[in-house]
Each structure stands twice: as C-alpha cells, then as structure tokens.
Structure 1
C-alpha cells in the first residue's frame, strides 16, 4: 500500500507541475476543469446520488465553470470573496459538528458547488497572473507543507485531538507543525524575492492563513465522508482514494490565497 501511494503521489505531482509550467492559461483552465468535474462527480456520492445523477452534477459544475469564463473580472473577485466568507461558515460547522449536521441532499449539492467551482476560478486566476507559475507553486507548497508538516509533527508530538468528532486522527500539535511549515515557506519565498519588510510580513501572514484554510478544507471534506459513512471519496487514485481526497485542502486554500494576492499583488 505504501509503495502504491508513493508511486501514485509521484505521478500526480509530476502531472500537476507539468500542468502549471507547460500548459498555457487556456489549456490549464481545461485541465483544472477536468479535475473539478471529477471532484464534482465524487461529491455527488456525498448526497447519495446514483451514477447518472453524479454525472449530471459534474456537467452542472462544468456549465458553471464555462459561465465563469465569460464573466467580468469584477464578478470573479466577488465570487472569490463570497467563497472566502463561506469558509468562515464552514469553520463554524466543522467546530460544532455533530450538533450541526448537513443532512439535506440539496444543501449538500449546493455546498459542493460553492466548494468546487471557486477552486477552479482561483487556480485559473493565479495562472493568469504575470508570475502565475510561481504563485501556483507557492500555493501548492503551502498545501503540501501544511499536510506534511502536520503529519510529521503529529507522529512525533501529537497528543491532543484537534476535532475528534470530524477527524479522530488529527492533533493540535500536528496542525501547529503544519502551520509552522507554512510560515517557513512564506519567509523563504519572501526573502528570495527580496520583498520589503511590510510585503514580507504580509506574505508570511497570508501563508499562515492559507495553511489554516488548507486544514479547514481537509476537515470539511472529512465531515461529509463521516456523514456518508465512507473512508474515501472515490477509488480513482490507487492508494490515495478519490480526487476530492487529494484536493480537499486546495478547495479552501486556493480561494483564500488568490484573494490575498488580489488585495496585495506581488506575483
């Protein structure tokens, strides 16, 4: 199982980096749309949809993505801002679970669109920046760093459960280790770009907030899997489960990071 996970992880990482550096913004948008369509298909399972219903839900997601291709940049910013506000509500839901439950099928489907579609918008908006490749790589490093740092710190120091009702395996010490990794990434990238002190502090703060969002995205998907009574969102990735299991952290981190870059452009 470990060997399978490593092989799949290496292949996925290589494909993602190829997409970031090799694809033009237009083709990258198609690549990202394919990923979110697969994620939407898996999200349909959270609402107990059949195969036909999941396919229809994925097509609806693609239709919304296509619509976003023609809206003005001002509307893009508004959508990302609403997505950021949504994740504040999601944080409350995660903390209060199971006192607050999302059992309504239509509510689950609506939430899925709010989670998945802005992820595509954030990724394509980052790619379109002057230094879009660097911005995307930093986002990926923050997400991967939060996950890896949390895993290592949790294994070594983990004692206190973070939110056991949602994800029993996560610890407070693990989360802090992941956030410390994000801060380190922000400092290294900021210093390498020779940012002035104020901009450096802002980038480090954005790295920390993005790391927190990454943890929230992971926990939020775990909540839906717990509601559905499943371990993985799908089986498309050997040893890793589904697409959602790989991009759950990104669904929250990407809109937050893009908003931060929008309000203080530095890429």
Structure 2
C-alpha cells in the first residue's frame, strides 16, 4: 500500500504543479472544477445521499452555481472577479462556523433529513468557495500562478511537518493532549505545531523566490500559519463526515490514497483563507 501511495503521489504532484504553472486561468478553472465536483460527489455520499440520480441532480445544481458565478463575473479585465471574491469571503465565514461544528461532534450525526440538509449545504459552502479562491489567486497579478502553487505547497508542507513532528514528539509538548480525539485520534497538537512551523518556513522562502518584498514577509508568514490551521479544520471536517457514516475513505478512485475528497479536504479550507489573506494583507 505504501508503494502504491508513493507512486500515485509521484504521478499526481507533477501533474498538479504543471497545470498550475502552465495553464491559463480559464483552463485551470475548468480542470479544477472537474476535480472539485468529483470531491463533492464523494461528499454527497458521505452525507447519506446514496441514490446516484439524486447525487447527479445535486452535482448539476452546484455546477450551475459555478457557471452562474463565471457569467456574473464577466468583465473586460480578466483578473476582476468580484463575485468570486465575495464567494471567497463567504467560504471563510463557513469555515469559521465549521470550527464550531467540530466542537460539537454529534451535531447532524443522525441519518435523517435534517442532518442531510446541513451536510449538503456544507458541501456547497466548502467546494464552491475553494474553486473561486483558486481562480482568484491564479488570476491575480503579478505571478498569480506562483502564489497558487505556494498555497498548495503550504498544505503539503503542513501535512508532512505534522506527520513527522507528531511521530517524533507527539504527546511531549502539550501534556499528552490530542487535537480532536473523537474525530481523528492520531492527530496531535505537536503535529499541528510542526506543520505550522514548516509551512511558515516554506511560505517565507517561496515568497522570496516569487519576488515579495522583505516588508511583506511577516504578512506572508501570518497568512501561512492561519491557512494551515484552517487546512487542519478541513481535514478534520472530512474525518467527521466519515465517522458519522462509518467510512474509512471517501472513495477508491486514487490508488493508495482513497477518494478525491481525501486528497483535497485540506485544500478546500486552505484556499479561501489564503486568497482572502492575500487580498487583505496585500502581498
């Protein structure tokens, strides 16, 4: 399984990097929409929507929302995406609410209509703003494609930093307290700290390579830290959905990695936060 996981990662990572750096924003939006909608398809299943026709209709509604956002953002200025920016803000607001949801493990855990409604709304609130954030970052000038790659690198660095720090120092720095024992027992506060630290280092180095000014580095480091915290929330929220339905993975599409949602859960939360920070802090 480990070998399969590594081989799949070696295929996916260059493909993602190449797409971010080489594709124009429009084509990247189209490609990423396919990926995010595939993740949403799995989210709908975790929300107890077993019927394929019902899931297809719900997926089509989300696709229509994406198309409407594109249509409503038409402008003579390719980088002007006002509706996308508004959706990014709404996405960050949603993830703030998700932090509260994570504190109340049993909320919407029952397999009834009310729980489905909350989880369906959460799916749209997670996927569509992340897609908008990807477009906003990539279309920004100058070097939007590089900033988007850096945002993704932050998530990957945080994941690696959390894994190795957690294995080495888990339970030693915070009195053995776990991050969210009912949702993801293996996640430690030490791991989160290690992930944040490595991501901040990657952010500073990456920003310098992109061409950021020295005066902008504190803002970039702060944005990286907050982005990583929310990326952890994204990962935990998917884990919460899986525990509610007793699933190990969101799907089986990616060998050794589970489903698409298993790979992009952190990204869904990270991209809106990074995009808003980039706009707000001006780097």
Whether 1:183 and 2:200 are equivalent positions in the alignment is yes
Deviations 1:211-235, CA, capped at 9 Å, x for gaps: 1111111001111111111010011
Q: Could you tell me how far apart the structure 2 residues matched to 1:192 and 1:15 are?
A: 21
Contact in 2 for aligned 1:8/1:238 (Cα 8 Å): yes
Give SS of 1:170's match: strand
Q: How does 1:29-178 map to 2 (within 5 A)?
A: 29-49=29-49, 50-72=51-73, 73-98=81-106, 100-103=107-110, 104-130=115-141, 131-159=143-171, 160=176, 161-178=178-195
Contact in 2 for aligned 1:44/1:53 (Cα 8 Å): no
Q: Any stretches of 5+ residues in structure 1 without a counterpart?
A: none
How far residue 193 of structure 1 moved from its aligned partner, in angstroms, is: 5.0
Alignment TM-score, normalising by the size of structure 1: 0.94
How far residue 101 of structure 1 moved from its aligned partner, in angstroms, is: 3.5
Whether 1:13 and 2:16 are equivalent positions in the alignment is no
How far residue 102 of structure 1 moved from its aligned partner, in angstroms, is: 4.7
Compute the RMSD of aligned alpha carbons: 1.5
Deviations 1:31-64, CA, capped at 9 Å, x for gaps: 0110111011111101222222222222222111
How far residue 192 of structure 1 moved from its aligned partner, in angstroms, is: 3.9
Alignment TM-score, normalising by the size of structure 2: 0.89
Q: Could you tell me how far apart the structure 1 residues matched to 2:140 and 2:238 are?
A: 29
Partner of 2:78: none
Q: Could you tell me how far apart the structure 2 residues matched to 1:196 and 1:91 are?
A: 33
Partner of 2:77: none
Give SS of 1:239's match: coil
2:240 equivalent among 206, 223, 227: 223
Contact in 2 for aligned 1:32/1:120 (Cα 8 Å): yes
Distance 1:102 1:70, change over 3 A: farther
How far residue 197 of structure 1 moved from its aligned partner, in angstroms, is: 4.6
Q: Could you tell me how far apart the structure 2 residues matched to 1:176 and 1:34 are?
A: 33
Q: Which moved more, 1:194-203 or 1:143-152?
A: 194-203
Contact in 2 for aligned 1:213/1:252 (Cα 8 Å): yes
Give SS of 2:256's match: coil
Query: What is the total number of aligned residue pairs between the two structures?
Result: 265
Deviations 1:149-197, CA, capped at 9 Å, x for gaps: 0000111111232101111111111111101111111222344456445
Partner of 2:76: none
Q: Could you tell me how far apart the structure 1 residues matched to 2:211 and 2:40 are?
A: 40
Contact in 1 for aligned 2:162/2:191 (Cα 8 Å): yes
Contact in 1 for aligned 2:199/2:228 (Cα 8 Å): yes
